[in-house]
Structure 1
């Protein structure tokens, strides 16, 4: 049974009209570069070789300025239930949706970058009170990472994934959830791995879309398909990580543009929604414009472009090389994800009790937005397998 304490306070999001007017004025006055110098004869991924194409950005900026409705998203956050609490001297914001089912299991969902709590608002209700009475139900908690959204911005270094995971255990305890399951992708996948590896007395098991193996593994013994997957992952880390290097080494420098220019922020985040989703000609094939703008506007109104980028500075190596996860683990490798190329044999070197390994036919880095119905079903089935494997203590 959950309980609200004096340490947990209700919270409501409400941007001022002045902030929204300022956003529209900045969008109207934006100075844009010339068009990209790449092949633009027709649809296809080549249009994105130099980054966000000018035509796509202009269209989205116009929609943001004239049609997008922030108040609708804001209302949805308030309907779900928002709260804040202070942990380790830092204010942490979170969504909390309790299930009506007596057999519900507490679940913490952790987002990553360039995502936010906006990734999960369309799936929370179905996870809490599924239409299928035979599906598992969850008391859903969705925290905003430190420096993201309505959580506080750390004023000093030290808020890496290990400290965040410890804070999540404290948060769940304050809500009355002494044991729980966890899911995450991207940075949320790192936090989820730490939860399972460091806090097995609290974490019943995990579901993740990110399975980072320990370093130093070779391709010896892998199948041809697994070697190709490993090569693709290495190619991403070698040739597509400029954004991460920038944020891991100079987050303050890029932060000025991200906090001062809504168009700069939009382009920086949209580039990743495009490259990391399972599409051929941009993210809008599977993710709505408004869903992306919900995420970007949250960054803009909370002025968290710089503070969110600093998670790369705080955890440059992502995970402790020695970390091992012994709790039951369900892992889903979406085909269009940037880092879903980890061979199972490699993943098992860190995740020691993989009870479910799933390879969907579609979906990318943002499955809760790209394939929400599949995401919910897979998460339900994965966590049911985790609990059946001994995580229901």
Structure 2
């Protein structure tokens, strides 16, 4: 027994020593890469029409008629196994409920009015037409600063997630001397933002496109917020443009699983206090449970990172197939325990109308295939070769950790990459789709984080 304990100590000591040496020379010490603005439109090169044009969603009746016909012609579903909820994917017994609601109660005509309720525009950036919401505060009192905030979505979400969230940011609060002006673009290839016909538009290139968008909109500096892909894109923007991004807020706060991070996590599996505070141990330990869960829940990622066009054919042809594929994530990623329920807990946090708004956003724009290509491009050698996993984030950073997020890391790991951690909030409830599920909680944390960032800006520098 004594020798076994000594062996454990030696293994841990060696791991920490190797990690410390590796960290000294390689961990988040590289300068950001130079990523030039590229042309993503048709042809080799061209000139973008940078005019900002008002935009209204106006889907032709024939597209909705075709949708209704497809929903009416759905073949009988394969029954689920006995006693099974969402463990095998979307439970087809509950899928019947979704189908009937979609056919008989969901009104695209009404929802289109709702989706047009926020001001939105298009402009061309690097040859692509980019669609974005742009919501300004209605009125401000004297002395109140209007702060631009870039809001970036992920997959299988969209800007539709933000409709209840944005007004909480653009409405002035008593006692605050600032308010937000929100710019929420759709990622190229998502919804009404044009997809490229060229390979290579990865997360870093999207960051460059959005940096160019903000430049064209005349914002010299701004704050940024994101979850899912939005967290990665805004993080990359903070790495590339630290002179423009005044502060970053993410509700999915992850760090690249490089050698040093893995060594720390492995060391913590023996001595958790080396890595995690007591209330954080449940996030990552035991590692076997974490890795098993991640393998179980990331099959979609491997598929989309390798063969997005293949699965895209099936999803673009079947609206109910698209709904099942997308909405299953709104069950499992909201709370993993919902997988045990026959209805996947689908309506515990969301209503079907708003969930179908998001599905429709992909269906009427035929953008499911082009949205999934972002995975393939971002897991490519070209993207990995940029070395962004070795670049620190030095701008003020705030993290909102929701308890049911897919992956939550300890503060000590987060601080390895995000050198200027201003705040870290453990939220009382919520999962991956925080802006849609918990808009008030998320908005409260954004306000508090930016308030701290502004206070720190005004402090005299030592």
Q: State the TM-score, normalized to the length of structure 1.
A: 0.92
- Of 293-302 and 220-229, the range deviating more from structure 2: 220-229
Query: Which residue in 2 is equivalent to 1:44?
Result: none
State whether structure 2 residue 287 is matched by structure 1 residue 287.
no
State whether structure 2 residue 56 is matched by structure 1 residue 12.
yes
Distance 1:32 1:299 in 2: 24
1:328-353 alpha-carbon deviations (Å, 9 max, x no partner)? 000011001112x2111111111111
- Cα RMSD between the aligned structures? 2.1
State whether residues 136 and 380 of structure 1, in contact with CA within 8 Å, keep that contact through their aligned partners in structure 2.
Answer: no
- Of 215-224 and 119-128, the range deviating more from structure 2: 215-224
- Of 197-206 and 29-38, the range deviating more from structure 2: 29-38
Query: Which residue in 2 is equivalent to 1:368?
Result: 435
State whether structure 2 residue 397 is matched by structure 1 residue 355.
no
- Of 259-268 and 161-170, the range deviating more from structure 2: 161-170
Distance 1:240 1:322 in 2: 26
1:105-152 alpha-carbon deviations (Å, 9 max, x no partner)? 000100000000001011212211235452741110010001100000
Matched residue pairs, number?
382
Query: Which residue in 1 is equivalent to 2:390?
Result: 322
TM-superposed CA distance for 1:53, in Å, is 0.8
Distance 1:193 1:32 in 2: 45
Higher helix share: 2
Q: Determine which of 343, 349, 361 is the counterpart of 1:298.
A: 361
C-alpha distance 181-27 of structure 1, shift in aligned 2 (>3 A): same
Q: Determine which of 23, 27, 43 is the counterpart of 2:67.
A: 23
State whether residues 161 and 435 of structure 2, in contact with CA within 8 Å, keep that contact through their aligned partners in structure 1.
Answer: yes
State whether residues 120 and 132 of structure 2, in contact with CA within 8 Å, keep that contact through their aligned partners in structure 1.
Answer: yes
Give the gaps of 5 or more residues in structure 1. 41-46
Distance 2:110 2:458 in 1: 38
For the residue of structure 1 that corresponds to 2:145, the secondary structure is coil
Query: Which residue in 1 is equivalent to 2:91?
Result: 53
Q: State the TM-score, normalized to the length of structure 2.
A: 0.79
State whether residues 50 and 216 of structure 2, in contact with CA within 8 Å, keep that contact through their aligned partners in structure 1.
Answer: no
Distance 1:38 1:190 in 2: 40
State whether residues 128 and 139 of structure 1, in contact with CA within 8 Å, keep that contact through their aligned partners in structure 2.
Answer: yes
Query: Which residue in 2 is equivalent to 1:222?
Result: 275
For the residue of structure 1 that corresponds to 2:390, the secondary structure is coil
Distance 2:177 2:297 in 1: 39
Distance 2:76 2:414 in 1: 44
Structure number with greater Rg is 2
State whether structure 2 residue 228 is matched by structure 1 residue 186.
yes
TM-superposed CA distance for 1:25, in Å, is 1.0
Q: What pairs with 1:378-389 in structure 2 (closer than 5 Å)?
A: 378-389=445-456
State whether structure 2 residue 77 is matched by structure 1 residue 33.
yes
- Of 178-187 and 99-108, the range deviating more from structure 2: 99-108
For the residue of structure 2 that corresponds to 1:96, the secondary structure is strand
Distance 2:99 2:455 in 1: 48
